[in-house]
Amino acid sequence: MSPRFGFGPSDGADGEEEQNPNNSENSGQPQFPGMDELMSQFQSFGFNPGALFSQLGAALGNPAAAGSGSLVPLETIREIGRTYIAAGPQLPVGSVDLAQCTEALDIANTWLDSVTIFPALTRSPSTAWSRKEWLDSSAAGWQKLVEPLAQGMASALTSIVEQGQESGDFEEGVAGAGTPGLAALLPILRSFMGALFASQLGNSVGALATSVTGANDVAIPLFTSFDTLAEDGSIVPIGNYQARLIPQNLIGWGEGLELPEEEIRIFLALREAAAARLFSHTPWLAQYIYEAVAAYSSGIRVDIQTIQEQAESAMNSGELDINNPQSIQIAINQGIFTPEQSPKQEAALARLEIALALIEGWIDHVTTQAGAGKLPSFSALNETLRRRRATSAPTQQLFSTLFGLQVSPRKFRECSQFWSEVNELISIEGRDGRWEDPALLPSVDDIADAKKFLDSTTVPDDLSGLL
């Protein structure tokens, strides 16, 4: 992947000694431009540098700028997401919706009881959510997921500024009285990055809110509500993964299918209830995903020279118009800050990719076991789901924008087949027992041969042959 706007992996991400940024012989590390040159570039782009930094400080001030609180403001995510969904129709959840969703989830849980060892959760009094309720409830989970990435971007930006100061390229006051000193610039840069991610995430989650059919439809554990200590002293997240459907989006999902509404509702309830069971009974899973994102984010660096070259190219081509905020937002949403990947980051993305695919594949497999022989339209509904997931899956688009990660529909199918083979080889109990610990799950290379994987990871009952 080519770098976008100068973000790339840290050269020292794999433990190698960092090269001296002040070494003129180091052609791979462009020198940080002097403050005069940097301010001249801002002016050539049409910015008033002093006014720019003053406005950033005033407009983007948040707790992070003062060194406390989350870098990505939660309320910004919610407000932008609410604005997005407010642009379309919003239907309230009525008593009929609630009754229909409760019935569908009850049927789904009854069918799932015989195909998984994960028990049903205590039913929530509210089995139906509006779009806004899903947005407001999931925003904190999205914030936590993206926070490491924003921190990585912000740290890379501030690091390059600090290196410039140490080398003498960044001198206090050289840009004129209107520009703040370095001490004021750094928190503004961090605040800017946090606001940038909050804006992007707010729009993305707002878009998701108009299409997800259930609380856990994105197949990511988002609703961790509090933490507890395990016996070994580690922190274990306890999730609030109640199964809930979103009636307004159920209607949209079923438009044009000419299939019974009740069957559509039960089909989607099966997926929702299966995801809720899995997430509730694998408390390590949310932290595992967050740690993969953090590992990826820790290797981000900033290449000032590439920022300049690609910014100029984008403006010359019309892709980016600094006088048009909408153009800037579109560029951001299209992945303009997507980093290039180092080997360490690629390994983190591989862990994240297989985790997401195994989750989706398990849900596919279990819902097929539960519903294929009971729901007359199951095959047609399942094919519709796969077709839509291949062309316009909103979660896929979000991960592609943030990380350059695209989990192919084929990978989902391979993981579904993997779980089916594991079920046939060792039983439902053995299949679901694989979720006890991440060490028991397969890698990308393992899913092609379930028998070989099980043989290599299963401890035999009789260990005498090993003595």
Binned average pLDDT, 10 residues per bin, the chain of 467 residues: 37 40 37 46 46 45 48 92 94 95 97 96 87 94 90 77 56 43 68 84 92 93 63 57 94 94 98 96 91 84 61 72 63 54 83 93 97 96 90 71 77 95 96 95 94 85 49
Q: Does residue 24 form part of some domain?
A: no
Does residue 122 sit in the same domain as residue 138? no
233 and 368 together in one domain: yes
3-class DSSP state for residue 22?
coil
292: its two tokens = 């993969």
Query: Quick check: is 263 in a domain?
Result: yes
In this structure, is residue 404 part of a structural domain? yes
Q: Which residues contact 175 (CB under 8 A, 6 or more apart)?
A: 35, 36, 38, 39, 49, 50
The whole-number pLDDT of residue 47 equals: 43
Domain limits at 194? 7-11+31-79+133-210+303-340
Is 297 inside a domain boundary?
no
The residue among 252, 216, 233 whose CA lies nearest residue 88 is 252
Instruction: Give the integer Cα–Cα distance in Å for 190 and 329.
Output: 18
* Per-residue confidence (pLDDT) for residue 436, from 0 to 100: 95
**Has residue 26 been placed in a domain?**
no
Residue with tokens 């079923």: 254
| Encoded tokens for 429 | 């109990």
* 204 and 247 fall within a common domain: no
**pLDDT value for 177:** 40
Asked, for residue 119, whether it belongs to a domain, the answer is yes
My answer on whether 115 and 139 are in the same domain is no
Count up the domains in the chain and report the number: 2
Shared domain for 263 and 314, answered yes or no, is no
Gyration radius (Cα) of the chain, Å = 25
Q: Clarify whether residues 218 and 252 are in a common domain.
A: yes
User: Does residue 455 sit in the same domain as residue 314?
Assistant: no
User: 206: which 2 tokens?
Assistant: 């707002």
Residue 304: the pLDDT is 57
One-letter amino acid of 342 = S
Reduce the DSSP state of residue 463 to 3 states and report it. coil
The predicted pLDDT at position 154 comes to 80
Cβ atoms of 27 and 37 closer than 8 Å:
no
pTM, two decimals, is 0.77
Which ranges constitute the DSSP H helices of 220-260? 247-254
Same domain? 359 vs 422: yes
**Whether residues 175 and 193 fall in one domain:** yes
Could you tell me if 225 and 280 lie in one domain?
yes
Domain assignment present for 89: no
Per the domain annotation, does 298 fall within a domain? no
pLDDT attached to residue 100: 97
Q: Are residues 361 and 269 in the same domain?
A: yes
Residues 235, 180 share a domain: no
**CA–CA gap between residue 411 and residue 117 (Å, rounded):** 25
